[in-house]
Amino acid sequence: MGMTMAEKILAAHSGRAGVEPGELINVKVDLVMANDVTAPIAIQNFRRLGVSRVFDPERVCLVPSHFAPNKDIRSAEQMKVMREFAREQGCVYYEQGQAGIEHILLPYRGHVVPGDVYVGADSHTCTSGALGAFATGMGSTDIAVAMATGEIWMKVPETLRVIYHGKMGRWVRSKDLILHTIGQIGTDGATYCAMQFEGEALAEMSIDARFTITNMVAEAGGKTGLMRVDQTTLEYVRPRARRRWTAYEPDPDARYWQTIELDASAIDITVAMPYSPGNTRPLKELLGGPELPIDQVFIGSCTNARIEDLREAAEIMRGRRVAQWVRCIVIPATQDIYLQALREGLIEVFTEAGCAVSTSTCGPCLGGYMGVLAEGERCVSTSNRNFPGRMGHPKAESYLVNPPVAAASALLGRLAHPDEVASVAATR
C-alpha cells in the first residue's frame, strides 16, 4: 500500500521506510516556532527539562505578533522573556519593525521549505503546508521538548483528500472555497487529519491564495494541510529557501480516510456567520434578506493580509470613502508586505478612503487590541475565527469573508457584494 504526502514526510523524518495512520512515532523536526503568547510557557518548560541549549538555534524561530507592539505591561513582560531567551540561545528572532505575523513571515523569509516537518506553538502553523510541508500547531510543552531535542512524539494522522475541480467564478476566492468546505464537513470534520488539497482550481491559484486554504485547516479540526509542489510553489521557494528541500508526491495507491470532490465553479462567495467558521451561507442568500449594518471591517490576519489581498481591497476602495460610522482597520501581515504596499500606493489608497492602517500585527483577529468589539457590535472580517468573544465581547458578531467583500462592505456600511461598488472585475 502506498503512502500519502503526510505519511511520506513523516516516514522520512522518523527514519522509517513507511508509516501508517494510528502509529505512534518520534519525528525529527526542521523548524520550531513560538510567539509572544506561547513562547514564555515553552521557555519555562524548557528550563524545567534541565537542558542548557536549544537543539539548533538556526531552527528555532521566535516572533512577537499577537500583542506587538506591546499593548500593556503584561504583554511587554511576555515579549521581554522571549527576547532575552532568543538572545541567550542565539535563536532566530524577528523584532518589531522587522516582523509581523509568523505564519506569513517565516515562509516568506525562506525558513519553511517543501518536505519540512515544521511545528509551532500556534494552531495556524498549518498555513505553511501550502508549500508541501507537514506544518502543525502544538502545545507549548511539546514545543519546549522540540526546542530541546529537535524531535516530537506524535500519532500518524489519517488523510482527508479534498479535490477542487473547475474554475472559480467572478469574485470567488480561495477563502470561499475553504469556508464552503468547512461548512460542508463541519469544524470537527477533519479532526486530527492531514488535509491533502488537489485539483484544477488549486493549480490556477497563486501561493498567496493557497496559503489561505491551508491556514483554515485548523478551523476544520485538522492536524495539518498539504498541497503538492508544482511550478508555482517552486517559483516562490527558490529565491527564498535557506536550505535544500524535498518535494514529496502521494503514491497512486495511497489510502485515504475519505475523498471529497467539489466543483469550484459551483461555489459562490461564502460568508461564515456567527458564531462558527462552519456556519456558512452564500453571500447572495444573505443579501436577499434584511440589511446587515456593520460597525467595523477588519482586513488583515494570517488568513488574508498578503499583498494580493491588499491589492484587491485597495482597488475596490480607490477613490471612494469608508461609510460613516464604520471603522475599517487594515493591517498588512508583515513589514515586507507593508513596505511593498507602501511602494505600490496601496497605503495611500486605504488612508484616503478613511481606513486606519497599522503596523504588522495580529491585532483585532484574537480580540487582543486595536479593534476589540463592544457588546452588540458587528464586524466583517477577513480573519479565520468568529467564535463568541473571539474579537471582543461575547455578544459581538463577526462575519468571515474574502477581501473584496470586506472592502465593499466597508464602503457601503453593511454586508455587501463587490459588484455593488466595483466598476471592473478582479480575478485571481
pLDDT at 423: 53
Do residues 136 and 160 share a domain?
yes
Q: Of 264, 291, 313, which residue constitutes the final position of a domain?
A: 264
Task: Identify the CATH number of the domain in which residue 317 sits.
Answer: 3.30.499.10
3-state per-residue secondary structure call for 152-165: EEEECCEEEEEEEE
For residues 84 and 141, membership in a common domain is answered with: yes
Same domain for 183 and 317? no
Q: Is residue 110 domain-shared with residue 169, that is, in the same domain?
A: yes
Number of domains in the chain: 2
Kindly report the backbone phi and psi dihedral angles of residue 352, in degrees, each rounded to the nearest multiple of 5, phi listed first: -65, -25
The span from the first CA to the last CA of the chain, in angstroms, equals: 38
- Do residue 219 and residue 281 come from a single domain? no
User: Is there a domain that residue 124 lies in?
Assistant: yes
Residue closest to 362 by CA, chosen among 302, 298, 297: 302
Shared domain check, 102 and 147: yes
Give the C-alpha separation, 131 to 49, whole Å. 33
DSSP 293: B
Q: What is the pLDDT of residue 103?
A: 98
90 three-state secondary structure: coil
Q: Are residues 140 and 287 in the same domain?
A: no
How many C-beta atoms lie closer than 10 Å to residue 192's C-beta? 14
Q: Which of 57, 289, 312 is nearest to 209 (CA)?
A: 312
Q: Are residues 178 and 315 in the same domain?
A: no
* Residue 120 domain-assigned (yes or no): yes
Bridge partners (DSSP) of residue 259 are 161
Encoded amino acid at 145, one letter = V
Task: From first to last of the 428 residues of the chain, give the pLDDT tens digit.
Answer: 799 999 999 999 999 999 999 999 999 999 999 999 999 999 999 999 999 999 999 999 999 999 999 999 999 999 999 999 999 999 999 998 998 999 999 999 999 999 999 999 999 999 999 999 999 999 999 999 999 999 999 999 999 999 999 999 999 999 999 999 999 999 999 999 999 999 999 999 999 999 999 999 999 999 999 999 999 999 999 999 999 999 999 999 999 999 999 999 999 999 999 999 999 999 999 998 889 999 999 999 999 999 999 999 999 999 999 999 999 999 999 999 999 999 999 999 999 999 999 999 999 999 988 999 999 999 999 999 999 999 999 999 999 999 999 999 999 999 999 999 975 444 33
On whether both 383 and 416 belong to a single domain, the answer is yes
Please give the Cα distance from 174 to 222 (Å, whole number). Answer: 18
Does some domain include residue 211?
A: yes
Other residues' Cβ atoms within 10 Å of the Cβ of residue 292: 17
Q: What is the CA radius of gyration of the chain?
A: 21
What is the longest distance spanned by two Cα atoms in the chain?
63
Cell of 240: 527564498
Dihedral through CA 35, CA 36, CA 40, CA 41, nearest 10?
-60
Whether residue 229 is found in the same domain as residue 84? yes
Cell of 190: 477533519
User: Do residues 314 and 246 both lie within one domain?
Assistant: no
- Which of 264, 288, 315 finishes a domain? 264
Residue 379, domain member (yes or no): yes
Q: Do 84 and 118 sit in the same domain of this protein? A: yes
Distance CA 164, CA 43 (A): 41
pLDDT of residue 200: 97
Task: Please tell me the predicted confidence (pLDDT) of residue 290.
Answer: 84
Among candidate residues 218, 246, 264, the one where a domain is terminated: 264
Q: Does residue 425 lie within any of the structural domains?
A: no
Q: Is residue 389, in this structure, part of any structural domain at all?
A: yes
Q: Across the chain, how many H-helices and E-strands are there?
A: 14, 18
- Residue 427 domain-assigned (yes or no): no
Domain limits for position 34:
5-264
At 215-266, the pLDDT tens digits run 999 999 999 999 999 999 999 999 999 999 999 999 999 999 999 999 999 9
pLDDT of residue 368: 84
Q: Is residue 11 part of a domain?
A: yes
| Burial (0-12, 13-18, 19+ Cβ within 10 Å), 203 | middle
